[in-house]
Structure 1
């Protein structure tokens, strides 16, 4: 069992019967110096700073007591993923319905639009047309490329490489 799996196992009692879920765990600096354990947690209603601090204190104390990394010193950081962190679970997509997303597909295309719905196997993204210059439009017409995807479009989860919420200050 690697460090990440061991941390997940220790975290289970603090996840409030899966109300809180693990988004990511990173353990860095294993060779020699101070280790840094970063845990990103979230919930369907969001997670508070107080909840993160409480879990950090309890988990950190437990890890200290059991000499989790032997004699190696470590820093534990528990927080929520920031808005710049990619969406990875359908639960995260549900919380972001109505927001603007940039979705990178496994074939490299990037679709931007409003997240309309989340289904079991896919999301519905209301894709906005990409703004192109007249020269780009003319070139595409000459090359007879396929028509761009526009409007409500189902995007299967297995075709999503990465999704980020687009922040707008308009």
Structure 2
């Protein structure tokens, strides 16, 4: 229902969660766009999803709906999200348990090209190009720098 409520080509769904509450379940929809998502777009999407829920389950269904953008601490999960963060620093946890941190250079159809930070003896840092397939990624977050 969330996907069907999107304006064509502007936004994409990042995550949908429904709480376990039987009294008044909460539907949380995280959406994003290549240029981000505005409050007005969140409101419009919320109204469209609510209408679809009412059409499917009737108006007597009691629920709460929340539509927002994923916060900076929310992991990147969609290729479109990675594209928007090209040039930023990422921390990527892989299937084998290793982590790689570096600048996102490029997003391809199959994965990421990252300039991985490799610390040498002392304080010298070098950058090594690394290709990471999407299937190898367990979690990826933007690294926030306050420098």
TM range, normalised to the smaller chain? 0.7 to 0.9
Alignment map for 1:138-153 (pairs within 5 Å): 150-153=127-130
Equivalent in 3, 6, 20 of residue 29 of structure 1? 20
1:24 Cα deviation from its structure 2 partner = 0.5
> Match of 2:139?
162
In terms of fraction of residues, the more strand-rich structure is 2
1:63 Cα deviation from its structure 2 partner = 2.8
Output the CA distance in 2 between the equivalents of 1:132 and 1:38: 46
SS in 2 for 1:129: strand
SS in 2 for 1:58: helix
Output the CA distance in 2 between the equivalents of 1:29 and 1:132: 51
Output the CA distance in 1 between the equivalents of 2:137 and 2:50: 35
Residue ranges of structure 2 left out of the alignment (5+ in a row): none
Output the CA distance in 2 between the equivalents of 1:36 and 1:96: 29
Equivalent in 67, 72, 88 of residue 78 of structure 1? 67
TM-score (norm 2): 0.86
Residue ranges of structure 1 left out of the alignment (5+ in a row): 1-6, 134-148
Equivalent in 96, 101, 125 of residue 90 of structure 2? 101
Mapped pair 1:110 → 2:99: yes
Mapped pair 1:63 → 2:50: no
- Shift of the 109–132 alpha-carbon distance from structure 1 to 2, 3 Å rule, reads farther
- Shift of the 166–69 alpha-carbon distance from structure 1 to 2, 3 Å rule, reads farther
Give the CA RMSD over aligned residues.
2.4
Q: Deviations over 1:16-39 (max 9, x none)?
A: 223211111001124x32100000
Output the CA distance in 1 between the equivalents of 2:64 and 2:93: 33
SS in 2 for 1:26: strand
In terms of fraction of residues, the more helix-rich structure is 1
> Match of 1:53?
43
1:68 Cα deviation from its structure 2 partner = 2.6
